[in-house]
Copies of this chain bind each other. A is one copy, B any other.
């Protein structure tokens, strides 16, 4: 199973928590984890490799030629890191046909395989939307982003990538020019670009299963989604996504899933040391 992560040094710790939860809840599964990183040292990679090896999985450092980004506007707003996900098909080995991209602020609490083997139905990606039911958030994004063709605004924290199709259809020149034209209007640059240019070629997957925004727990519970209570989540949800500024690895965080997150954080040292 191929996994893609992109990170800088600040996310090394949460990445390990995410990987630990993935290993523990997908017993017997071998993972090939592709890492596109900024500012990580050889020692950091060595450390990740040893960590993954404890669960018979592999870390692959993705090397690429910086000339890939020739033509990208040198902006004081964004670094080249924002292109990593969008250009994944170009940066990754050409023999990979699909990969699961995961943000590091995620816990994997159930088995991934069903999502991993999804039928893309010709789409470039499969991803979930956090748009509310009334569609207000999506309407705002439709106005905010020029060229927005999709019905939904997708969250890019969990994405199944159809690499074969991406190689055919994603042109980096389109991305570079979209950013050049819209630079100041982009709130979440790569997610915005993804939605604006490719939103209509994303297969929607259920966010309560595959991209559960942990901030929504109380709201959803009060809204009487009785079938999506804590029992349902622990039994069914695959990815808990700790969206927002307040992160569960910060001291003093006390969101509803804080005990669970910190439990996995502790497991790193006990079981994977």
In chain A, positions 199-236 with a C-beta closer than 8 Å to chain B are 217, 221, 226, 229-231, 233-235
Stoichiometry, as copies per complex, reads 2
For A259, list chain B residues within 8 Å (CB): 230, 233-234, 256-257, 259-260
Which B residue's beta carbon lies closest to that of A218?
A: B254
Whole-angstrom distance between the alpha carbons of A234 and B269 in the complex?
Answer: 13
Tally of chain A residues near chain B (CB < 8 A): 25
Contact with A235, one of B230, B256, B266 (Cβ below 8 angstroms) = B266
Q: Is the interface of A mostly helix, strand, loop or mixed?
A: helix
Which B residue's beta carbon lies closest to that of A214?
A: B259
Contact with A252, one of B109, B229, B263 (Cβ below 8 angstroms) = B229
For A71, list chain B residues within 8 Å (CB): none
Whole-angstrom distance between the alpha carbons of A254 and B219 in the complex?
Answer: 12
Q: Are A230 and B263 in contact (CB under 8 A)?
A: no
Say yes or no: A252-B231 contact (C-beta < 8 A), given A109-B263, A260-B259: yes
Say yes or no: A231-B251 contact (C-beta < 8 A), given A27-B270, A270-B27: yes
